[in-house]
């Protein structure tokens, strides 16, 4: 949750004395008020030139500039319809709209609220584009829509369709208006809550939109036994879910109780929500919601101390690694003693040592006493070394730990820990790239944490394949397998943020929309379920030639092919707008020990990875029953790795994204 406290405003249908209204609201602890720019019943004479005769509203000197700039949300006249069928009415309303917008610009208001009445908003969007082009003040536009379209509901009263059209209509008004505004991040939606509530699917779809505020009419409150206004549990939950997505609350309507009581009640409801500290991920991600970051490239770049410090704070990940290492050590002991291994471990690449390594006769005893060699690849500052030593203590195993690390700063830390912390343990530090290190004896187990937010996007396959010569034949790799996943999502906020991530010309904007972004996604809606894209196993199986013979490189290591191509399809269950994909991964470490950031199987409390946002250049409107088809490629060359993707919905197809890695790539 991005905000500490709930922010509430008070809506005035009319404000004869604006100063008194603001003082009343602030005295009751409201943060702002919503007030009409002009009197709701005032109609201005319009000259043919588009100008007006005389003043049309109050002077701005009745409030201080600070009040105008931070405590007033201006409400445009609700009757204005610049897309009216009548040309005369349309022109008059457009002139009046421009006049009110111009006055709002002069006041320096933080936000201006207007009402959407239908799906016809071309002229309104054109007018607002002109306003943005000519305005240097960062004013936000709040588009107000009802949660339920009563006109459609009344028209379909005799049709047994569960009133879906009435609930969907306002969403279509908003998304079509937002689309005409180019999904501009300065545009947000304000939803007026109704007495009846829609299905959870419709509510979740609204949560994917950039909600600025939710209007709560006082008519929805009822008095409890003590005479204080309260909401039903269902309405409470809707308000909470909206506020958790950064929406403010606007209390509107007739005063059925003291205005302070509404605010006090909303504060109590907010305070009673589940404590954020109970979820480590929410606590960790606080302040990072919907903030785009470029993925790390630890192979090409050395990580800094701050990054290491953040990753090492994850207790869940290293606990899972420790369990996996302990299980691997146990299985090696069983293998050496000739004991059986559980079925769930029999397919986990258990060691099958060669006779020359195991020995014969009396040497069998020595083999059982020989320390198990565990090689930590990309050891960083040593968290996996600690996990290995802890696992050895738990299983009463004798281990020899070899830490391989290419980052000179991390090597200094590892060397210091060998001298000061692990001086009684058999730990060796080898500086260098794991793909170029040659060490003997070979490892019984190799352990690494080279995964990115989309599994293989930090080049774990290339690193581990290049280090395959460090592992004994039949040795254990931790992790053993990992897969990447995607789900089509709707998120105007993330798409607009990606588009504007690196300001520049159209070519730069195109690059932004062909780049993978790491982000803790809050303001998004899943259009369909999550599906698997690419899977990698370790130790990887080598390629074979046309005669079925294994292919090897100049070092004698198996030649692997990490190129991939996957086609996925989804059926749309609800009208929506697709802005891209959410990307995730899961990983089988060893045995049954897993880590995952896939929403349905997310490892509780694990904070090391945020998901990936994969945008598409042009958002696609999808309707219920449509088929979404996406093709993903993982491309590999001698120096780099990159992804390409394309999406098809019916007759609409996006361009190929990131051809030849022109916008984003991972360097080998």
Q: Which residues are annotated as a binding site?
A: 308, 317-318, 405, 433-434
Compute CA 158 distance to the chain's CA centroid, rounded to the nearest angstrom.
Answer: 41
3-state SS class at 498: helix
Q: What are the phi and psi torsion angles at 376 (to 5°)?
A: -95, 115
Which value, to the nearest 10 degrees, does the dihedral of the CA atoms of residues 491, 494, 495, 500 take? 160
Burial of 313 (0-12, 13-18, 19+ CB in 10 A): middle
CA–CA distance, 520 with 414 (Å, rounded to integer) = 31
Q: Can you give 277-338 as a three-state secondary structure string?
A: HHCHHHHHHCCCECCCECCCCCCCCCCCHHHHHHHHCCHHHHHHHHHHHHHHHHHHHHHHHC
* Short-list 571, 572, 579, 583, CA closest to 632: 583
CA distance 146 to 149: 6
Tokens of 54: 């005389």
Would you name the residues annotated as active-site residues? 449, 458
Q: Please check whether residue 191 is in contact with residue 238, taking contact to mean a CB–CB distance below 8 angstroms.
A: no
Closest CA to 495 of 187, 126, 191: 187
Give the residue among 503, 508, 525, 533 at the shortest CA–CA distance from 619.
Answer: 525
528: nearest Cα among 468, 485, 481: 485
Residue 238 CA to residue 622 CA, distance in Å, equals: 25
In DSSP notation, 617-636 reads EEEEEE-TT-EEEEEEEEEE
Residue 258, phi then psi, degrees to nearest 5: -60, 135
Which residues line the annotated binding site for S-adenosyl-L-methionine? 308, 317-318, 405, 433-434
The rounded distance, in Å, linking the Cα atoms of 375 and 443 is 6
How far is residue 660's CA from residue 639's CA, in Å, rounded to a whole number?
12
Find the helix packing angle between 233-244 and 259-271, rounded to 10°.
70
Judged on CB neighbours under 10 Å (0-12, 13-18, 19+), 136 is exposed
User: In this structure, are residues 297 and 667 in contact, taking their beta carbons and an 8 Å threshold?
Assistant: yes
What is the spatial distance between Cα 293 and Cα 9, in angstroms, rounded to a whole number? 33
Instruction: Give the position of tokens 């020990």.
Output: 593
The phi, psi pair for 22, rounded to 5°, reads -65, -40
Cα–Cα separations (whole angstroms), residue 310 to 148, 303, 390, 478: 45, 11, 21, 22
User: By the 8 A CB rule, do 336 and 366 touch?
Assistant: no
Q: Where do the H-state alpha helices sit in 108-216? A: 122-134, 150-155, 164-180, 200-206
């Amino acid at each position: 949750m991005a905000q500490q406290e709930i922010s509430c405003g008070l809506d005035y249908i009319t404000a004869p004395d604006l100063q008194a209204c603001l003082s009343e609201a602030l005295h009751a602890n409201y943060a702002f008020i919503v007030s009409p720019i002009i009197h709701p019943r005032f109609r201005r004479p319009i000259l043919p030139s588009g100008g007006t005769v005389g003043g049309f509203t109050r002077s701005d000197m009745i409030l201080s500039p600070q009040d105008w700039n931070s405590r007033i949300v201006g409400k445009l006249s609700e009757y204005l319809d610049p897309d009216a069928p009548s040309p005369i009415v349309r022109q008059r309303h457009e002139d009046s709209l421009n006049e009110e917008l111009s006055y709002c610009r002069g006041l320096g208001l933080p936000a201006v609220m207007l009402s959407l009445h239908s799906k016809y908003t071309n002229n309104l969007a054109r007018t607002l584009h002109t306003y943005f082009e000519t305005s240097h003040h960062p004013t936000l536009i709040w588009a107000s829509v009802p949660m339920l379209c009563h006109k459609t509901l009344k028209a379909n009263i005799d049709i047994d369709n569960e009133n879906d059209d009435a609930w969907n209509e306002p969403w279509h008004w908003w998304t079509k208006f937002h689309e005409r505004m180019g999904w501009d991040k300065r545009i947000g939606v304000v939803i007026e809550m109704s007495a009846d509530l829609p299905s959870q699917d419709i509510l979740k779809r609204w949560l994917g939109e950039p909600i600025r505020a939710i209007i709560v009419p006082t008519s929805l409150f009822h008095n409890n036994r003590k005479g204080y206004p309260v909401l039903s549990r269902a309405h409470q939950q809707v308000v909470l879910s909206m506020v958790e997505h950064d929406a403010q609350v606007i209390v509107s309507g007739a005063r059925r109780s003291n205005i302070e009581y509404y605010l006090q009640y909303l504060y109590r409801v907010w305070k009673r929500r589940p404590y954020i500290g109970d979820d480590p991920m929410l606590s960790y991600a606080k302040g990072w919601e919907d903030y785009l970051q470029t993925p790390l490239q630890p192979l090409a770049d050395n990580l800094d101390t701050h990054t290491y410090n953040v990753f090492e704070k994850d207790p869940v990940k290293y606990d899972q690694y420790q369990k996996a290492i302990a299980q691997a050590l146990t299985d090696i002991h069983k293998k050496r003693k000739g004991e059986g291994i559980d079925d769930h471990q029999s397919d986990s690449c258990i060691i099958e040592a060669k006779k020359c390594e195991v020995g014969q006769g009396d040497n069998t005893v020595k083999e059982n006493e020989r320390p198990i060699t565990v090689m930590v690849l990309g050891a960083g500052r040593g968290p996996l070394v600690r996990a290995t030593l802890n696992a050895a203590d738990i299983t009463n195993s004798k281990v020899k730990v070899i830490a391989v690390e290419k980052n000179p700063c991390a090597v200094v830390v590892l060397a210091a820990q060998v001298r000061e912390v692990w001086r009684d343990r058999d730990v060796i530090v080898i500086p260098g790239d794991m793909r170029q290190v040659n060490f003997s004896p070979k490892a019984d187990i190799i352990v690494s944490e080279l995964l990115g937010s989309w599994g293989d996007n930090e080049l774990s396959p290339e690193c581990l394949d290049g280090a395959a010569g460090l592992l004994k034949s039949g040795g254990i790799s931790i992790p053993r397998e990992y897969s990447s996943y995607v789900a089509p999502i709707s998120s105007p906020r993330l798409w607009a943020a990606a588009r504007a991530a690196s300001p520049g010309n159209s070519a730069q904007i195109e690059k932004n929309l062909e780049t993978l972004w790491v982000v803790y996604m809050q303001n998004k809606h899943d259009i369909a379920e999550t599906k698997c894209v690419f899977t990698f196993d370790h130790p990887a199986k080598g390629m074979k030639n046309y005669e079925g013979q294994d292919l090897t490189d100049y070092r004698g290591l198996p030649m692997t092919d990490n190129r991939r191509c996957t086609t996925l399809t989804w059926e749309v269950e609800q009208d929506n707008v697709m802005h891209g994909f959410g990307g995730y991964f899961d990983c089988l470490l060893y045995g049954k020990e897993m880590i995952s950031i896939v929403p349905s199987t997310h490892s509780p409390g694990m904070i090391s990875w945020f998901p990936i946002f994969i945008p598409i250049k042009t958002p696609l409107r999808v309707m219920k029953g449509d088929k979404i088809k996406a093709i993903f490629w993982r491309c590999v060359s001698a120096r780099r790795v990159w992804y390409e993707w394309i999406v098809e919905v019916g007759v609409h197809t996006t361009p190929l994204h990131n051809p030849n890695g022109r916008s984003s790539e991972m360097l080998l």
